[in-house]
Structure 1
Amino acid sequence: MVFVESYLPSTSTMGLVEHRQKGFHTIIYDEKGTYYTHETAKQLLNKACLHRLFTYEGRLQATRKQLNYYKKTPLLICHEELIYTFPTISPEEPGCCWIFPRHVQSHSSIKGKMVVCFKNGVKLPLNCSPHVYYKQLDRATNCITYMLKNKESSKIDS
């Protein structure tokens, strides 16, 4: 078990799993390895947003207003770096997994539960049904597409 005091989600982050055990709160799946931290997934995601001059709550609020995703809202951390993620269950629930789709190589359903396989071969069982997983993946894709279209139309207007 590799424990880290501080971690900043970035382009190498594959997933965050809330896992409130004695000694740590979140399991971090990164291209470079798997880490454990005292920080909650929400704290990590807010830190990533703040690093880019946004807030977690502000990003969620904008997505909810523009795309009407009020529950299990995907989070666009940075459209320039294409860092976005989605929760598998309510972020308020223990065990919430945040998946960063750019790293997913494949996904499969085993006995009604989803398992994602990241590009580096790491497999992560999820706590949601295939229906929820695909819906969340679609919502996250819609968020990044919306942002990229708005960015492109801003260039044309200027």
Structure 2
Amino acid sequence: MTPNLVYIVVIGVLFAAGVSMVLERSLTRVLMGMILLGNGVNLLILLGGKAGTPPIVGLGPDEEMADPLPQIMILTAIVITLGMTAFLLALAYRSWAVSGHDEVQDDVEDRRIMQLAERDEGSGTDDTDHTDVPAPAEVAPLPDREAAR
């Protein structure tokens, strides 16, 4: 089967739109992006199979039979996409129920680490002074079992 230009363009558009939507902060857009990516993958797998008669033994000669593997892979991908859709819908609903919106917020610890990294990049030296790092606390030894009896 020779790939059709329309299929290739549609696959490219689905992948581009899906990736750009997955990178958004709204869980609803992430969900829509995952659905678009799943459909793009299904079309891409469909291009990998050869056209022919249905893959049922006895309906036609074996040489003209279509390859059943891409069809099986597409059915599996549909089930996986459905599971991911249900999971992301549950996450979006829970986020909306708890906070009133489905925006993913920055983590406070991530911001602190980013600020520390920017501060280290601005210093211009690779030597880090660890004098301000506290020493690990001394750990008391465990009591002896024989002495406890």
Which structure is larger by alpha-carbon Rg, 1 or 2?
Answer: 2
The structure with the greater share of residues assigned to helix is: 2
The structure with the greater share of residues assigned to strand is: 1
The alignment's TM-score, normalised by the length of structure 2, stands at 0.35
